[in-house]
């Protein structure tokens, strides 16, 4: 299986992060890439640089005003006297039905869900290359590869069509799924990250051509709090095409695999032409977020169970934070998927 990754993805290096109101170092560090690259290589994967795919695959998911915002907001922010080094929102609309603001501060609040996704000079470039890694992996699968791995960083699954959030700017998994639809009728996205894939759910909530399934720590007391509950099933034409499987805190391998069985049966019934796995490794028992308790060998078992679906599969990296086993967890998953 090939790994797609571009060096430009290293440049985004966010500093700001608020955890329960306290300023902390941002956990979405470039160092994650080194651990994941080492893991991919150790799993026998060849590292391939993606091509520049331009704005088209990004604009197939994200709105024009949001793309313009991401492209320009850093320079606009620098013109504000006394502004922070990174773009961080300090005001949000209560509902988004109000007027679209003209000011940089207003737009930051409109397009950024939280303080976990600060924007610097390098953010847009890194986010584009991360998305293009996902597009290139989708291209590989469209060209006949059974599977491909996109080492996407920054990650994507908390990004909505016009909102950044939770370390995410462009929704790489959604972009890969939409790209696969170029020659498929139906695509399923299976999100196994510790956190609910709220952005991915939001993007496809009214559609029946992309099934979205997410296993995650129960959001009743966990990020992203407002989404990820079992009664969110889609709307309109998309009703029944979103499945959330919230798990109790500290759920370990057996509990995770049981829920995965439910997910896999739903995906089989949907009968997609291709699959996107939103691969968060933060469900790991030693991950700094500490929400679930999947073991290192558990990731291989998860991968084996998903591989049994027998679908052409794009694996898109989502979360998974710095801990000694980050690379080993990726090796376990990629080896299990073979
Ligand atoms: Zn996560």
Residue 291's pLDDT band (boundaries 50, 70, 90)?
Answer: very high
Give distance in angstroms: CA of 228 to centre of ligand 1. 13
- Tell me what the mean pLDDT of segment 42-58 comes to: 98
pLDDT above 90 (res 184): no
Residue 97's pLDDT band (boundaries 50, 70, 90)?
Answer: confident
Residue 66's pLDDT band (boundaries 50, 70, 90)?
Answer: very high
158 is catalytic: yes
pLDDT tens-digit map of 237-286: 999 999 999 999 999 999 999 999 999 999 999 999 999 999 999 999 99
- Tell me what the mean pLDDT of segment 210-233 comes to: 98
Give the pLDDT confidence score for residue 95 in this predicted structure: 82
As given in the structure block, the two tokens for residue 126 are 């890194």
Cα separation, 65 vs 57, whole angstroms:
16
User: Which helix (H) or strand (E) covers residue 211, if one does?
Assistant: strand 210-217
Q: What is the mean pLDDT of the chain?
A: 97
Give distance in angstroms: CA of 48 to centre of ligand 1. 25
Residue 212's pLDDT band (boundaries 50, 70, 90)?
Answer: very high
Cα separation, 248 vs 288, whole angstroms:
17
As given in the structure block, the two tokens for residue 99 are 């007027």
- Outline where the chain has alpha helix (H): 31-42, 56-59, 64-78, 104-111, 123-142, 172-180, 198-204, 253-270, 296-307, 326-337
Tell how strand 210-217 and strand 22-23 pair up: unpaired
Query: Is-contact 85 135, C-beta < 8 A?
Result: no
Give distance in angstroms: CA of 318 to centre of ligand 1. 7
Cis peptide before 325 (omega within 30 of 0): no
Give distance in angstroms: CA of 144 to centre of ligand 1. 30
Give the active site residue among 158, 179, 195, 196: 158
């Amino acid at each position: 299986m090939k790994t797609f990754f571009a060096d430009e993805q290293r440049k985004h290096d966010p500093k700001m992060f608020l955890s329960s109101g306290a300023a902390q170092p941002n956990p979405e560090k470039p160092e994650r890439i080194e651990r994941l690259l080492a893991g991919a290589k150790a799993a026998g994967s060849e590292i391939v640089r993606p091509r520049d795919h331009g704005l088209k695959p990004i604009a197939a998911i994200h709105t024009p005003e949001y793309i313009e915002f991401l492209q320009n907001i850093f320079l606009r922010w620098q013109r504000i006297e006394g502004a922070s080094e990174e773009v961080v929102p300090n005001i949000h609309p209560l509902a988004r039905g109000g007027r679209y603001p003209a000011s940089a501060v207003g737009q930051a609040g409109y397009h950024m869900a939280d303080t976990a996704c600060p924007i610097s000079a390098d953010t847009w470039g890194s986010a584009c290359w991360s998305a293009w890694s996902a597009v290139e992996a989708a291209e590989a699968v469209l060209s006949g590869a059974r599977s491909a791995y996109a080492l996407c960083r920054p990650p994507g699954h908390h990004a909505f069509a016009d909102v950044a959030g939770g370390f995410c700017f462009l929704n790489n998994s959604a972009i890969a799924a939409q790209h696969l639809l170029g020659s498929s009728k139906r695509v399923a996205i299976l999100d196994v990250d510790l956190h609910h894939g709220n952005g991915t759910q939001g993007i496809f909530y009214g559609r029946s051509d992309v099934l979205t399934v997410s296993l995650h720590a129960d959001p009743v007391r966990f990020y992203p709090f407002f989404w990820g509950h079992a009664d969110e099933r889609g709307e309109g034409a998309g009703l029944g095409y979103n499945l959330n499987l919230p798990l109790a805190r500290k759920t370990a391998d057996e509990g995770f695999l049981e829920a995965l069985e439910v997910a896999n049966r739903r995906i089989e019934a949907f009968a997609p032409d291709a699959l996107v796995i939103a691969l968060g490794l933060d469900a790991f028992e030693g991950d700094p977020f500490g929400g679930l308790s999947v073991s290192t060998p558990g990731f291989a078992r998860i991968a084996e169970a998903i591989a049994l679906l027998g679908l052409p599969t794009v694996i898109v990296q989502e979360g998974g934070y710095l801990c000694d086993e980050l690379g080993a967890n990726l090796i376990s998953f990629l080896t299990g998927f073979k």
